[in-house]
Structure 1
Amino acid sequence: MAEDTTPTEYEWTLASFTDTIHLGGVAMWAWSPSRRLAQLDGLCREFWGTAETVVPIDELFAKVNPEDRHGMMLDWHASATDPGPYSFDFRIGDGSDARWVSARGVGGDTGQVGEWVQAIFLDITDRKRAEEAEHLLTAELEHRVSNMLTVARALTAIVAREAKSTPNFAEDLSRRFGVLHEATSLATRSHKHDLGDVRLQNLAERILSPYRDGANVDVAIDGSVTVEPGRVNDYAMIFHELATNSAKYGALSGGGTLRLHGVIEGDEMRLTSDEGVAPSKADKADGTGFGSRLLKQTIERSLRGRFHRTIDGSGLHFEMMVPTE
């Protein structure tokens, strides 16, 4: 049986029309330039956070975000005399709950009926928040790329000064760039999956994994110890310096034990690295090399913390304290 496709007339009513445009985020309103009053429909009252149908226009101006108010008022007054279409955006309220709206209409006498200028407000909050998120991501990416290039340039210069041969230079530089890659991978994955901060335990295990063969590496960092993605590179460099220094002069050079522990104490994070009895060449790890200078710059300048290292009869000991905020 064929379906009846005969068109039927649809009766538009004011209520159905209003409901339809409200579903699209469009609110209707009108204002009187002479009496400085505004008439608001139901959705418009929701936008402005008022229960009144007729309100003084200056009460609406007072609800506009302070950062947007001056520009919005200039556009608003210009629309009163300019006969062309207008569209300008601003926020109602402030903070995370601010609503973005776009004021649209036709200016001058064209949009006026009697003493009232008729226009609409369009809710554009979702679009604006998406734009803000995109701008933030772009700015963060630019910052990260700039930071990575700065670190790479500094590492290249430092390694070049200390290298004894071309193969030594290439090996050391490649290893350090590998650390940066591991750190960036962790930070990127935390963003991708909206996991937020990176657990320091996971980062330390990742960086120390190449040194586990033939050595006992114990990593015990409290699960509450996390770092924001922007600081992952700093901690990756710290762990790398501790590991490579131990592999050259400490316990890892002779199959010993490296214990890396971390806890939160008050408003600070305490990280310690302890090794077994120091081998005879441990005096080379006296803190005067470029690795120690890099540690000092990272911990004291970048992380605003402090650290000290000691070498005694029981082995090599490292301790750092970093503010958690």
Structure 2
Amino acid sequence: MNDAPNPDAKWGYNALQRAVDAAGIALWTWNVDTDTFDMDDHGFALWDVPTDQSLTFEHLSDKVHPADRDRVRAAFIATRAVIGPFEIDFRTLVDTKVRWISARGKGNDEDILRRVMTGVFLDVTGRKQAEESSELLAGEMSHRVKNLLSIASALAMITSRSASGVDDMASQLMHRLTALGRAHDLVRPLPGHHGDAALLGDIFSVLLAPYDDKGAFAGRIRISVPRMGIGESSAALLALIVHELATNSLKYGSLSSETGVLDVSGSVTGDDVRIVWTEQGGPRIEGPSEKPGYGSKLVRQTAESALGGSIAYDWTESGAVVTLDVKIAVLAT
């Protein structure tokens, strides 16, 4: 009898190990009687636990994100009753780092050996982040389309106030819609562009041009900001904020009224630039709604998270006052 090792079997094992490593798969076992968990080295690294530590399901549960912990526990217990393959995605939280993990295996004791269940862990953080980005983009696009419909209607109304006739109104409205298109080009970042995207004053001038009246109502939008170059990334983010503020003003604030005016001023203090958006003469504003809308959340997220600055609202009787503080160095990027 030949007891020599089978070279084909050894090659197959090595090939399988390389494939597992290349796929980033972590192998795990769970003794359903003793609650003992074991993993390969990649699994210990994925969960950030010492390789010499004795593990139970509860030990790993402590590293599951609090918002997912009960769901994960219930799902793993239910695997004993699940027939066939199962899969569950959840988050882990180590210090402040969030990671998405997909756990996969077979339930209903299928092919169970010595009361030990087997399965794999996959790091799916990149896929989940891509899905969240897609959902955010879809929500933002839906929000913008709804805003555009409201803006088009409001632009037609304010154009009718100063137009002398049908032809004049059509000409003015086309001019405003063309300016609105240029404004949206600023909101949409352009790939491959380097250097300063625009001057700070030009960003406000282009974005607010569609909303300024002509004739007797001309000049109700006044802009006075420091002369400074804005980088491509920050220009798109700042444009997003300005566009959202202008849309809200056109719907509910000073730009919705014939007598309303808008002042945008800026000042530099040390390494910071402060931009103050002041509305006057519009409808009386009681204050912010109890539940902020998507636009308000988008403005705050852009100002604080994306630009690393701060934004504050003051709801005065004469109109809203919005104060944006951002580092000069950030605006240059």
Question: With structure 1 as the length reference, what TM-score do the two structures score?
Answer: 0.64
After superposition, the Cα gap between the structure-2 partners of 1:205 and 1:267, relative to the gap in structure 1 and judged at 3 Å, is: closer
Of 267, 281, 290, which aligns to 1:263? 267
Residue correspondence of structure 1 range 232-251 to structure 2 within 5 A: 232-233=242-243
Note if contact 1:190-1:229 (Cα within 8 Å) is conserved in structure 2: no
After superposition, the Cα gap between the structure-2 partners of 1:182 and 1:158, relative to the gap in structure 1 and judged at 3 Å, is: same
**Aligned residue number for residue 59 of structure 1:** 59
Q: State the distance in 1 between where 2:226 and 2:209 align.
A: 14
Shift of 1:172: 2.4
Larger relative contact order, structure 1 or 2 (CA cutoff 8 Å, min sep 6): 2
Q: State the distance in 1 between where 2:119 and 2:60 align.
A: 15
After superposition, the Cα gap between the structure-2 partners of 1:51 and 1:15, relative to the gap in structure 1 and judged at 3 Å, is: farther
| Structure 1 unmatched ranges of 5 or more | 1-7, 211-216, 239-259, 273-286, 308-319
Residue correspondence of structure 1 range 183-198 to structure 2 within 5 A: 183-189=183-189
Shift of 1:158: 2.8
**Aligned residue number for residue 214 of structure 1:** none
**Aligned residue number for residue 110 of structure 1:** 110
Q: State the distance in 2 between where 1:95 and 1:191 align.
A: 35
Q: State the distance in 2 between where 1:230 and 1:11 align.
A: 59
Task: Look up the SS of the partner of 1:93 in the other structure.
Answer: strand
Shift of 1:85: 1.0
After superposition, the Cα gap between the structure-2 partners of 1:191 and 1:237, relative to the gap in structure 1 and judged at 3 Å, is: farther
Deviates more, 1:15-24 or 1:217-226: 217-226
After superposition, the Cα gap between the structure-2 partners of 1:94 and 1:133, relative to the gap in structure 1 and judged at 3 Å, is: farther
| 1:278-325 per-position Cα deviation (integer Å, ceiling 9, x unaligned) | xxxxxxxxx99xxx649x99xx99884699xxxxxxxxxxxx873337
Letter in 1 for 2:20: I
Note if contact 1:186-1:198 (Cα within 8 Å) is conserved in structure 2: no
Shift of 1:178: 2.1
**Aligned residue number for residue 50 of structure 1:** 49
Instruction: Name the Cα RMSD after superposition.
Output: 4.5
Shift of 1:149: 1.7
Letter in 2 for 1:140: E
Q: State the distance in 1 between where 2:194 and 2:31 align.
A: 48
Q: State the distance in 2 between where 1:163 and 1:63 align.
A: 65
**Aligned residue number for residue 40 of structure 1:** 39
Residue correspondence of structure 1 range 216-227 to structure 2 within 5 A: 220-223=226-229
What is the percent sequence identity of the aligned residues?
A: 26
**Aligned residue number for residue 325 of structure 2:** 324
After superposition, the Cα gap between the structure-2 partners of 1:194 and 1:78, relative to the gap in structure 1 and judged at 3 Å, is: farther
Of 240, 261, 268, which aligns to 1:230? 240
**Aligned residue number for residue 27 of structure 1:** 26
After superposition, the Cα gap between the structure-2 partners of 1:28 and 1:219, relative to the gap in structure 1 and judged at 3 Å, is: closer
After superposition, the Cα gap between the structure-2 partners of 1:263 and 1:188, relative to the gap in structure 1 and judged at 3 Å, is: same
**Number of corresponding residues:** 262
Shift of 1:15: 5.4
Residue correspondence of structure 1 range 167-186 to structure 2 within 5 A: 167-186=167-186
Q: State the distance in 2 between where 1:69 and 1:194 align.
A: 45
Deviates more, 1:105-114 or 1:130-139: 105-114
2:95 pairs with 1:91:
no
Shift of 1:117: 0.9
After superposition, the Cα gap between the structure-2 partners of 1:135 and 1:178, relative to the gap in structure 1 and judged at 3 Å, is: same
Letter in 1 for 2:106: V
2:90 pairs with 1:80:
no
Task: Look up the SS of the partner of 1:170 in the other structure.
Answer: helix
Shift of 1:70: 2.3
**Aligned residue number for residue 216 of structure 2:** none
Task: Give the structure with higher Rg (CA).
Answer: 1
Shift of 1:185: 0.4
Q: State the distance in 1 between where 2:276 and 2:242 align.
A: 16
Q: State the distance in 2 between where 1:304 and 1:163 align.
A: 34
Note if contact 1:205-1:219 (Cα within 8 Å) is conserved in structure 2: no
